[in-house]
Amino acid sequence: MTTTGTPTLAVDSRTRYTSDETCFAGTSTGQTPGSGKETMRILIAEDSAPSRLALERVLVKWGYEVVPCRDGSAAWEQLQLPDAPRLAILDWMMPGYSGPEICRMLRAKGGEPYTYLLLLTSKTLKEDLIAGMEAGADDYVTKPFDLHELNVRLRAGMRILDLQAELLEAREKLREQATKDSLTGLWNRRSIMEILEREQARSQREGAPIGVLMIDLDHFKQVNDCFGHLAGDEVLREAGRRLLASVRPYDGVGRYGGEEFLVVLPGCDEAGLRARAESMRAAIAAPPLEKVSQGLTVSASFGATVFMPQSAVSVSDLIRIADEALYEAKHTGRNRVVLRSPLIGTLR
């Protein structure tokens, strides 16, 4: 039986491709073996043009997208691009860099996601194969190879890459859960405190101040009491969105507790902080939240302070000072900003 998937193979003096009918039985459909997902890109680095073209034709027939490279230097360049193919078939002997050299360099570089490396070699000596694997190759195919073997080895590589992608996704999800507040999507308390600590260390190194805001929604209990907890949750989410919308990408906004937020503004001095806090206050108090009935408006009180790089104020002192300023904002009428300097007392 001859299937439509059987490639016409160019044969050069060094490479003899052997095919058997069964090796095409499951792979002539144009599907990417081992993966029902989007087309997988495979890099082929092979200096023999006939051999490279033949291999390319087979892989395209199997549904892969191919990035062909005529030598080791071109392959090395391609593999360092941000969207480099995740699977590479590398000839052992090539001008520029050899297959094992590329394996070694790529593994030394590390980084994620993982690149699955398959060495293509006419060497059959066991010691050579061991050296190739030790250089960082995941697998090898010896020349002349048959297509069935290549096919199953590619599928094995695909399985590893799929598993790795799942692992990365799961890790990312865990990281998200561990660092973000699930209701608002803002940093959680631990993360925003870590950000403040990190920024404080940077401030001491680089000599720039940090603006710190402790924010508490006003009479929030009444929102729950009058509109229910779900409406209260929506108000919290919206307050978070409005705070996020009024900061720069390198500022930190976290949910410190129930209806309290902590904002860290690197590089912000007293004058800047006063203006930034005022615009955040106005953003929260601005037009009623659409999703909450009866045109509810919400406001927040702000306790503000600045960390000066030359001062020896600790993170817990900063929080305490911002808290005291917040307390004063509450007791002087709410919906306002009170700025307190750790060194020279209340500025407001």
Residue 91 near which of ligand GH3, Mg ion, none (CB within 5-8 Å, type-dependent): Mg ion
Residue 132 near which of ligand GH3, Mg ion, none (CB within 5-8 Å, type-dependent): none
| CA 39 and chain centroid, separation | 22
171, 198, 229, 331: residue in contact with ligand GH3 (rule CB under 6 A):
229
Alpha-carbon distance of 85 to 40, in angstroms, equals 8
Tell me whether residue 226 or residue 283 sits nearer to ligand GH3 (CB atom): 226
Alpha-carbon distance of 178 to 188, in angstroms, equals 8
Largest pairwise CA distance in the chain: 91
Sites for Mg ion among residues 39-68 (CB under 5 A): 47
| Residue whose pair of structure tokens reads 């052997």 in the numeric block | 18
- Beta strands 116-121 and 210-217, pairing class: unpaired
Stretch that binds ligand GH3, among 33-41, 56-64, 186-194, 211-219 (CB under 6 A): 211-219
* Residues in contact with 259: Cβ distance below 8 Å, sequence separation at least 6, in sequence order: 216, 217, 220, 236, 239
**282 token code pair:** 């106005």
Q: Does 219 bind ligand GH3 (CB under 6 A)?
A: yes
33, 85, 211, 232: residue in contact with ligand GH3 (rule CB under 6 A):
232
Angle value at C-alpha 177, between 175 and 178, nearest 5 degrees: 65
Q: Does 91 bind Mg ion (CB under 5 A)?
A: yes
Residue 105 near which of ligand GH3, Mg ion, none (CB within 5-8 Å, type-dependent): none
Tell me whether residue 31 or residue 332 sits nearer to ligand GH3 (CB atom): 332
Q: Does 180 bind ligand GH3 (CB under 6 A)?
A: no
Tell me whether residue 135 or residue 300 sits nearer to ligand GH3 (CB atom): 300
| Active-site annotation holds for 259 | yes
Q: Does 183 bind ligand GH3 (CB under 6 A)?
A: yes
Q: Closest separation between CB of residue 33 and Mg ion, Å? A: 25
CA-based nearest residue to 284, from 296, 273, 274, 293: 296
List 46, 56, 199, 259, catalytic entry:
259
Q: Rounded to 5 degrees, what are φ and ψ at 227?
A: -115, -5
Q: Does 14 bind ligand GH3 (CB under 6 A)?
A: no
For 170-251, strand residue ranges (E) read 210-217
Angle value at C-alpha 187, between 185 and 191, nearest 5 degrees: 155
Neighbouring-strand partners of residue 263: 213, 253
DSSP letter, residue 200: H
Site of interaction with Mg ion (CB under 5 A): 47, 91, 93-94, 216-217, 220, 259
Site of interaction with ligand GH3 (CB under 6 A): 183, 216-221, 224, 229, 232-233, 236, 258-259, 330, 334
Task: Cite the active site residues.
Answer: 259
